A and B are shown apart, each in its own frame.
Chain A
């Protein structure tokens, strides 16, 4: 469990490619399978959310859907008022376990 090592440095963001490498190394999946599985995992979640279904990953968190009604907005460049249309958005609610693991992090954050 050390994707932060291996020459990439802890400041690199975790990506699909990197997760696939780990699956290849840890579970012996071939690279193609690992890559497809990582892609499939996120695609399944997108598909469920697209169909209006909440995604609940115990130990990690829930992806919920919220409907937002139309509201006034502005073009940030010109300041011109433009209404923001009604839309459906995804929100992530981290689970207790993930919150507890992250809470104690004391270092600086990469943005």
Chain B
């Protein structure tokens, strides 16, 4: 599903709003989310998941072509942790899509 497909699908369901409004709203939501992360702010969406930044220390990498070492500065990367409802639905526990074997109560994510 792409962004435009998501917008179309929402427009079919939200009959009170036009697709132009929905398109603007979707773009605005994503912009707020990207902006928050660029400020180091967490995003917490109950039932979907949370986004935060992870720190990557500086390291020496290599130019893949020449094999020469390149020093890469420390940086932050976006990280997403799926929420409970998303995890369960994707894994087919509530959905009807997939059979499932018994699952341990709270498996470690080692």
Contact = CB atoms under 8 A, between A and B. Distances in A.
Interface in A1-45: 1, 3-4, 10-16, 19, 22-23, 26-27, 29, 33-34, 36-38, 40-42, 44-45
Interface in B1-49: 1-3, 6, 9-10, 13-14, 16-17, 21-22, 24-26, 28-49
A19 B104 contact: no
B87 A89 contact: yes
B84 to A, nearest CB: 11
Interface of B: 1-3, 6, 9-10, 13-14, 16-17, 21-22, 24-26, 28-53, 55, 75-80, 82, 85-87, 89-92, 95, 97-98, 100-104, 106-108, 110
12 contacts: A27-B28, A40-B10, A46-B48, A50-B89, A55-B1, A60-B34, A89-B82, A91-B80, A98-B34, A102-B77, A103-B75, A109-B76
